[in-house]
Amino acid sequence: MEATVAAIEPGRLAGTAAVPPSKSAAHRAVVCAALAAGTSHIGNVEFSQDILATLGAAQQLGAKVERGEHELTITGRGNADGFATITRPVFCNESGSTLRFILPLFSLTAQKVRFTGAGRLMQRPQEIYAQLFERQGLRFEQNEQGITIFGRLCPGTFTLPGNVSSQFISGLLFATPLMEAPSTIEVRAPFESRSYVDLTTDAMQKFGVKVSVRARKDGSATYKVAAPQHYAAADMDVEGDYSQAAFLAVLGSTVGGITITGLPSGSHQGDRVILDILKQCGAKFERSGGHVTFHRSLLKAVEIDLADCPDLGPVLIALGCFCSGTTIIRNAGRLRIKECDRIAAMQEELAKMGGTVKADGDTLTIEGCALHKPTAPLNGHNDHRIVMAMAVAALAAGQPAVIEGANAVNKSWPDFFEVIKGLGAHVTNQG
């Protein structure tokens, strides 16, 4: 969506909608293909701003990328010795996944590399990598303009806390097979967002790299990565995205008559838990293969743990408004360090519709209520998930709304507003 302002009128909502490809899976496929010897074909790709950032980084490593309408052909460099000379800064736009996945890989070039970004990306915490580089006597400098690294990461034992972004763990996993000797990655308990690391190891194995994992009862885990290994070219289709499906699933549970297609039942995506959460809330739906049909349901408040599914935060906060009783969301603190402070943003925007979101440390409480027409235009806070969550809130409440900064959806789901138009919503662009 190019327009910065979207005006939404609810209309009669019903129909079938396909979810976009998983951004999480697509990032990982692109990285692995860029590292692989030979040519890989990746189907079912949506070229959101985040994926374009990862493709740009892959090309700077020396991979050859050819784009089709919804597909990619990537010829990788085969190993770290084949990486290209880095001649300009690596632009990661606003993609935390891009930055954290590729930073250890670029260190293997043994060159001075500068990373830049947009929005709040360079303000987001990178202490895990800063400490790791410092321990090995390597250069890591960060300011609001960018990050500069110099020096090649060496193999060994890496110990990381499990209650930080899993993207740091994934970044090390991508790089360690290309080092000259084996490495061990120790993840301390509590290990949050482990499902995202499972997506990483799944992708690596599809591209011929073996990783052994030992999970312990205390919640910690150990990953052992043999090296040197070589990524091998592979062909694959990216599965549908449960993170994005969550917006339509919440909408379908409130208004009914919506079928979502493209959701694999055997997915390892952590955000597939949205179906379990909705079921606990009393949502009625049925699955037929990759299709899930939602019926209008009387929803009740439940307690939700966000530790393994932080990207669901905004839409689950919106969901709480439509559940009778008090919804409690725990382990929500990481929402404050995303593209915006997602807790503050949802508090501010839902308040315009009569919603109440209270924060006590990392715990949120949302009172079920009848949302009214916004008293002022809603603001997307330059955050795709805030824009989509507020669109869902307005549609589910049957209220017209104006959303400023609506083009933030380009970060992950450029066709979002076209999809809800296809379900019967009236959407007009105003700028």
Contact 184, 176 (CB under 8 A): no
Among 295, 288, 282, residue whose Cα is nearest residue 252 = 295
Three-class SS state of 27: helix
Pairing of strands 357-360, 363-367: antiparallel
Determine contact, residues 60/86, Cβ cutoff 8 Å.
Answer: yes
Residue appearing with tokens 């396909």 = 18
How far from chain centre, in Å, is Cα 370?
Answer: 30
E-state strands within 27-67: 37-43, 64-67
CA distance 425 to 70: 26
Q: Please report the sign of the dihedral spanned by the C-alpha atoms of residue 259, residue 262, residue 265, residue 270.
A: negative
| CA distance linking residue 367 with residue 371, whole number of Å | 11
Q: Name the strands in the sheet holding 90-91, side by side, starting at the edge strand that comes first in the sequence.
A: 90-91, 113-116, 146-150, 139-143
According to DSSP, residue 372 is labeled -
The C-alpha angle with vertex 313 and arms to 379 and 22, in degrees rounded to 5, equals 95
Give the max Cα distance, the chain: 61
Active site residue 271: no
Catalytic residue among 202, 311, 341, 360: 311
Q: Is 145 helix (H, G, I), strand (E, B) or coil?
A: coil
3-state secondary structure of 324: strand
Q: List, in order, residues 6 or more apart from 353 with CB less than 8 Å away.
A: 321, 371, 372, 373, 374, 375, 393, 394, 397, 399, 401
> Residue 296 in 3-state DSSP?
coil
CA distance 97 to 120: 13
The 3-class SS string of 97-162 reads HHHHHHHHHHHCCCCCEEEECCCCHHHCCCHHHHHHHHHCCCEEEEECCEEEEECCCCCCEEEEEC
User: Which residues are identified as catalytic?
Assistant: 311
